[in-house]
A and B are shown apart, each in its own frame.
Chain A
């Protein structure tokens, strides 16, 4: 029982980080109808940025976090202006291919700048130890959990109480209506990409603290897609719930099934099996809105 609970708790903390990455994805999707395949690569860049500011520069944690977020903002603005805006009005595939190409370029840049090597800053981030009964919460995961919850709360507040948040929600509803009442759609796009970038960077710093940074870290993006599909592509709340569910399921499945299978590694394809199942049986996810199409 303790083993099971331990797996659940670890999975919960992991799931919060998945949710954080998935939220960046959902925000872009909601505002500009673009499926951002490069979300995982924002995480990768974030991890490397965290490493750069924390280890070679030796800055304190808060300064590193702020600087990384700053770089994330600039990156988001550049990406939106240079690659996304020329594609407004193009077919869906063009946008998807653009984000895939972006992912490739970002991976190339990460390889060029950081050599694609394994970098770690284990123990640099502050840790909080917590023990409930016999279950210990891994300290790095806990700090991840706290930051994720804070970020999610801030985003929720942004969407609910600010003008730009309202504009973003409106853009998600109907682009033409938004433009006709004088809201600048380009600003909304830019803000959504900046938020996605920043969220990805924060997720990257957290994950880098847990498991180190390496090029395959970008594959977290693929897991975030599974989260997004499970939760429903246009629901932020859904992304959080699904992130936690998937993190737990993955950990529990790996904990119990891996010893039974020769070679193990079930955790790696688990999200994809979930994805196929969701796509076949409930394509719009747990909380997504079914899209009604008209000819």
Chain B
């Protein structure tokens, strides 16, 4: 038998497979095994960080489909997260709906909000759309603050811990597993959504919407679909966030986080599924670094140094990536992989 170097696809199924080789299957299973074993050996602090990363990954996948694939820039993503979060919170806390019913409802309501605020996207794009989504964020947060009977307004509201069947997810470990399962599902769905007819239409709309329309892609339908899908992801992420804290308040949905999610896309690489994951992980880790270094700096320099470090670090990372690596970490990773794919030259050695 010859030694096989490189991957050679011999039929359509192989060509379309997401996971192509046995080695990849092995790596995937090993990764999942280690991931879901994390609660056994990681500290609570680490688990919290990783749970937050998981939620960010879900949210950024949504933004990636909307902005990275369909080219509709949204800086109101956190607003849509808030819609999902409050839907789930109100349903579980006020109406006693079980968590596994409330979560799809949250996703759906966020998607509906996305459809509503996505309507301007039919006429406008670029900066105008950014303004529309910023408005969406502020209007949503204003509504949350003023529907006091329903949402508790500025006081926030208590949210029960999620319960699936008879298991209540109270421990950090169990919640971590829930979030990671959802993140894996979100990634799997995102990979597949962008390969479908709709996903290809999104890319066409992003590259040139007029050309896409001439080719027979209904802009009306696909732009709204992109908004719906992106906001469904946001809704799930928001619901997971408030159930984790067992508390919902507008402070969990600051405007700057929307910008930060876009920053994750920039750092990771727009229009790439690994990019979304890489960006979310690396920027959340940067956040953690800032929370560790901040207090030390505060003591050394001035009391406000921690707060300003967080802002400056975030801004600088985005600036540096825009100047030096505008296509993000995913692109860099792809180049490294391509290098090793060519070295040593891939070929099939026959006996």
Q: Is A233 an interface residue (CB 8 A)?
A: yes
Of B117, B123, B322, the contact of A101 (CB 8 Å cutoff): B322
Chief secondary structure at chain B's binding surface: helix
Give 1 or 0 for each of B310-331: 1 = CB within 8 Å of chain A CB.
1110111011001100100000
Q: How far is the CB of A99 from chain B (nearest CB, A)?
A: 10
Asked whether A83 lies within 8 Å of B311 as measured between CB atoms, the reply is no
Asked whether A101 lies within 8 Å of B134 as measured between CB atoms, the reply is no
Asked whether B128 lies within 8 Å of A229 as measured between CB atoms, the reply is yes
Asked whether A105 lies within 8 Å of B131 as measured between CB atoms, the reply is no
A108 partner residues in chain B, CB cutoff 8 A:
307-312, 315
Q: Give the residue name and chain of the A residue nearest to B209 (CB).
A: A293
A229 partner residues in chain B, CB cutoff 8 A:
128, 131
Give 1 or 0 for each of B278-311: 1 = CB within 8 Å of chain A CB.
0000000000000000000000001111011111
Interface size (B, Cβ < 8 Å)? 52
A90 partner residues in chain B, CB cutoff 8 A:
322, 326
B259 partner residues in chain A, CB cutoff 8 A:
100, 104
A102 partner residues in chain B, CB cutoff 8 A:
315, 319
Q: Give the residue name and chain of the A residue nearest to B143 (CB).
A: A269
Of B126, B132, B145, B266, the contact of A97 (CB 8 Å cutoff): B266
Q: Is B73 an interface residue (CB 8 A)?
A: yes
Asked whether A263 lies within 8 Å of B319 as measured between CB atoms, the reply is no
Q: Is B256 an interface residue (CB 8 A)?
A: yes
Of A101, A105, A261, the contact of B146 (CB 8 Å cutoff): A261
Q: Is B48 an interface residue (CB 8 A)?
A: no
Q: Is A134 an interface residue (CB 8 A)?
A: no
Asked whether A272 lies within 8 Å of B303 as measured between CB atoms, the reply is no
Q: Considering the complex, which residues of chain B in the window 142-175 have a beta carbon less than 8 Å from any beta carbon of chain A? A: 142, 145-146, 148, 153
Q: Is A109 an interface residue (CB 8 A)?
A: yes
Asked whether A279 lies within 8 Å of B124 as measured between CB atoms, the reply is yes
Q: Give the residue name and chain of the A residue nearest to B317 (CB).
A: A101
Q: Is A127 an interface residue (CB 8 A)?
A: no
Q: Is A66 an interface residue (CB 8 A)?
A: no
Asked whether B311 lies within 8 Å of A105 as measured between CB atoms, the reply is yes
Of B75, B128, B214, B256, the contact of A104 (CB 8 Å cutoff): B256
Q: How far is the CB of B326 from chain A (nearest CB, A)?
A: 6
Asked whether A111 lies within 8 Å of B311 as measured between CB atoms, the reply is yes
Asked whether B128 lies within 8 Å of A279 as measured between CB atoms, the reply is yes
B139 partner residues in chain A, CB cutoff 8 A:
269, 272-273, 276
Q: Give the residue name and chain of the B residue nearest to A112 (CB).
A: B308
- Highest count of chain B CB atoms <10 Å: which of A87, A102, A111, A283: A111
Of B127, B308, B322, the contact of A111 (CB 8 Å cutoff): B308
B308 partner residues in chain A, CB cutoff 8 A:
108-109, 111-112, 116
Asked whether B124 lies within 8 Å of A263 as measured between CB atoms, the reply is no
Q: Is A86 an interface residue (CB 8 A)?
A: yes
Asked whether B312 lies within 8 Å of A109 as measured between CB atoms, the reply is yes
Asked whether B119 lies within 8 Å of A100 as measured between CB atoms, the reply is no
Q: Is A2 an interface residue (CB 8 A)?
A: no
Q: How far is the CA of A283 from the CA of B211 in the complex (A)?
A: 21
Q: Is A132 an interface residue (CB 8 A)?
A: no
Of B123, B208, B262, the contact of A279 (CB 8 Å cutoff): B123
Q: Is A48 an interface residue (CB 8 A)?
A: no
B262 partner residues in chain A, CB cutoff 8 A:
97, 100
Asked whether A96 lies within 8 Å of B263 as measured between CB atoms, the reply is no
Q: Given contacts A100-B318, A276-B135, A295-B210, are A233 and B127 in contact (CB under 8 A)?
A: yes
Using CB atoms and an 8 Å cutoff, list the residues of chain A in contact with chain B.
Answer: 35, 83, 86-87, 90, 92-94, 96-98, 100-105, 107-109, 111-112, 115-116, 222, 225-226, 229, 233, 261-263, 265, 268-269, 272-273, 275-276, 279-280, 283, 293-295
Given contacts A94-B326, A112-B312, 6 further A-B contacts (CB under 8 A): A98-B318, A104-B314, A105-B311, A263-B145, A263-B146, A265-B145
Jot down 17 A-B pairs with beta carbons below 8 A, ordered by A.
A35-B126, A87-B323, A94-B326, A97-B263, A101-B322, A104-B312, A104-B314, A105-B311, A108-B312, A115-B304, A229-B131, A233-B127, A263-B145, A265-B146, A275-B131, A276-B120, A283-B120
Q: Which 6 A-B residue pairs are closest in the complex by CB-CB distance?
A: A108-B311, A104-B315, A105-B315, A108-B312, A272-B135, A112-B308
